Amino acid sequence: MNHYDYQELCSNFEYQGEYIGARRYGEGHINDTFLVETTGKRYILQRVNTLVFKEPEKLIENVVAVTEYLHNRIISNFGDPYRETLTLIPTKDGQWFYKTEQGDVFRMYLFVGNARSYQTIENPEMFYKVAKSFGRFQNLLKAFPADKLHETIPNFHNTVDRYRLFKEAIAADKAGRRTEVLEEIDFLLKREEEASLVLDAIASGEIPLRVTHNDTKLNNVMIDDETGEGVCVIDLDTVMPGSMLYDFGDSIRFGASTAAEDETDLSKVEMDLGLFEQYTRGYIEELKESITPKEVELLAFSAKLMTLECGMRFLTDYLDGDCYFRIHREKHNLDRARTQLKLVADMEKKMDKMNEIVLQYYEQ
């Protein structure tokens, strides 16, 4: 990234107080993030990664639309809109981002104080509270016209299209690796007919098109330092139209696994039913009035679907020669793919119990 004078950059925004300084902040891998100190409030300054988000104007239009809607909903619920959702700071010429002469795109948010995000689940109760935060986010946006949002990453959770790309990668075998992953290829191809279940339900109207976050990891919820409650859902760059099942399923894929995403000892990889229950309980508590019967039917399955899709993406990249996901060792993407496929296999064994848990909390 270019070296900028951050005081000069910040001077383009309508922040309060006098500039003191800025430092790198957080552990995000996509955007460059800085905490800005002033004599007034604190702010987040962020450079949008335009290699990932090729149309940043559309991304920011989505964020503006969703946060303004959330502000109004939170006020009507007698909450604090400056703490319970992100607040964009406008530029001095009335825009929501500033573009430098070099073409870099910056935006500024009000900092959410007395709260932090966590990289790992410290206890099951934390996972429950994170689920409530994502469920509340979904519920607040239930009446938002999702079809008005831009698709900032086309076909992001189009599992049918992911299979198309996967089969193209098998046929091309660019890196000459196909023969070493025949077992993994067979595992994925045997489950292809399930890939369209959510897409078909959206197309038929059986489940509604909703606003989805699409990156429902633990670290995208700010946890209050005193109460331990989830305060604010952050990182809205992948907010798009889709299904709540994508958000729920990816949370389970990431948060209920007993091992790291790139664990090489597959005997350590399972889906923790206790964590699944905690997340399901919190999510349904917030959404019970708006979740549809078809979404309930597919909720447990969505964890398997999102895990299958993720494993397929890792294996596709391995077949293509590791072009998309950053790797830190030889066969890193293959290790990642194998953990996901092991999780899928474990979920299949536990699916009846997972469905029982969903119904238990839905019918309470």
Question: Same domain for 27 and 145?
Answer: no
Mean pLDDT across 289-316: 97
Residue 28 has what pLDDT? 67
Residue 29 has what pLDDT? 64
Q: Do the domain assignments include residue 69? A: yes
H or E stretch at 21: strand 19-24
The yes-or-no verdict on residue 58 having pLDDT over 70 is yes
Question: Same domain for 151 and 231?
Answer: yes
Q: Please write the tens of the pLDDT for every residue from 178-206.
A: 999 999 999 999 999 999 999 999 999 99
Question: Same domain for 195 and 332?
Answer: yes
Question: Same domain for 225 and 277?
Answer: yes
* Residue type (1 letter), 54: K
Mean pLDDT across 326-332: 91
Tokens, residue 101: 């002469």
Of 94, 113, 132, which residue sits at a domain end?
113
Question: Same domain for 59 and 174?
Answer: no
CA distances to 100, 242, 281, 296, 359 from 288, rounded to whole Å, are 46, 19, 10, 10, 11
Tokens, residue 84: 């319970």
Of 83, 113, 143, which residue sits at a domain end?
113
H or E stretch at 76: helix 56-76
Q: Please write the tens of the pLDDT for every residue from 23-48.
A: 998 776 678 899 999 999 999 999 99
Residue 324 has what pLDDT? 84
Q: Provide the domain count of the chain.
A: 2
42: CATH? 3.30.200.20
Nearest to 257 by CA among 303, 301, 200: 303
Its domain, for residue 164, covers: 124-362
Q: Please write the tens of the pLDDT for every residue from 116-161.
A: 999 888 899 999 999 999 999 999 999 999 999 999 888 999 999 9
> What confidence category does residue 109 fall into, taking pLDDT thresholds of 50, 70 and 90?
very high
Beta carbons of 39 and 29 less than 8 angstroms apart: no
How would you classify residue 94: left for phi > 0, otherwise alpha for psi between -120 and 50, otherwise beta?
left
Exposure string over 147-164, b if 16+ CB within 10 A, otherwise e: eebbebeeebbbbeebbe
Q: Do the domain assignments include residue 300? A: yes
Residue 10 has what pLDDT? 97
Q: Which residues contact 27 (CB under 8 A, 6 or more apart)?
A: 119, 219
Question: Same domain for 253 and 354?
Answer: yes
What integer best gives the mean pLDDT of the chain?
95
Q: Do the domain assignments include residue 104? A: yes
Residue 364 has what pLDDT? 87
> What confidence category does residue 4 fall into, taking pLDDT thresholds of 50, 70 and 90?
confident
Q: Do the domain assignments include residue 32? A: yes
- The reply to whether the predicted model has a pTM over 0.95 is no
The yes-or-no verdict on residue 332 having pLDDT over 70 is yes
Question: Same domain for 78 and 140?
Answer: no
Q: Do the domain assignments include residue 119? A: no
Q: Do the domain assignments include residue 102? A: yes
Question: Same domain for 51 and 22?
Answer: yes
The yes-or-no verdict on residue 2 having pLDDT over 70 is no
> What confidence category does residue 52 fall into, taking pLDDT thresholds of 50, 70 and 90?
confident
Q: Do the domain assignments include residue 118? A: no
The yes-or-no verdict on residue 277 having pLDDT over 60 is yes
Question: Same domain for 70 and 213?
Answer: no
How would you classify residue 240: left for phi > 0, otherwise alpha for psi between -120 and 50, otherwise beta?
beta
Q: Do the domain assignments include residue 1? A: no
137: CATH? 3.90.1200.10
Of the chain, the end-to-end C-alpha distance in Å amounts to 52
Exposure string over 128-137, b if 16+ CB within 10 A, otherwise e: bbbbbbbbbb
The yes-or-no verdict on residue 1 having pLDDT over 70 is no
Question: Same domain for 232 and 316?
Answer: yes
Higher per-residue pLDDT: 2 or 352: 352
Residue 139 has what pLDDT? 95
Tokens, residue 345: 């296999």
* Residue type (1 letter), 202: I
Of 71, 88, 113, which residue sits at a domain end?
113
Sheet hosting strand 230-233, strand order edge to edge:
115-116, 221-224, 230-233
Question: Same domain for 136 and 105?
Answer: no
Question: Same domain for 69 and 136?
Answer: no
Beta carbons of 246 and 198 less than 8 angstroms apart: yes
Residue 31 has what pLDDT? 86
